Amino acid sequence: MKKLIFALAAALLTLASCGVGNVTVNSGKADKAYLSFSAAQAKDILVTVDGKEYKTETLKVKGWSGNKDLKSLSKNIITLEPGTHTVVVKDNTGKELTSQKVFISAQEHKMIGLEL
């Protein structure tokens, strides 16, 4: 009888001491989208996205490969929030090269080709 009581007490203590509380873990990729511009030659451009201006450079079409590391191209990439954006691109003289609305999903890298 003592063994049965001891076993029940041990079982109750074991079950009562198992609580670890609530744990929340957030993980995953950043909620960002990326925008770049390509042309036959590298050229400085002025990009306006939703009224905010960015100075950047086009990527040469021959030099672009979709497998390139984004960090190595960071000076050519504009980081945005996902969604629909109004994009206006001008060259150094102020000539408008393109004006369009683009939708970019989270973690998408959209490349817009320019005729220079």
Token pair, residue 97, equals: 């090269």
One-letter amino acid of 33:
A
Please give the chain's pLDDT, 116 residues, in tens: 777 777 777 766 666 655 556 666 666 667 899 999 988 888 999 999 999 999 999 888 765 555 555 555 667 899 999 999 999 999 988 999 999 999 999 989 899 999 87
pLDDT at 3: 75
**Alpha carbon distance 54, 47 (integer Å):** 5
pLDDT at 60: 81
Q: Burial, 91: exposed, middle or buried (Cβ in 10 Å; 0-12, 13-18, 19+)?
A: middle
The sign of the torsion formed by the CA atoms of 64, 68, 42, 39 equals positive
Q: For the chain, state the CA radius of gyration.
A: 28
Domains of the chain, start order: 30-113 (2.60.40)
**Alpha carbon distance 111, 97 (integer Å):** 15
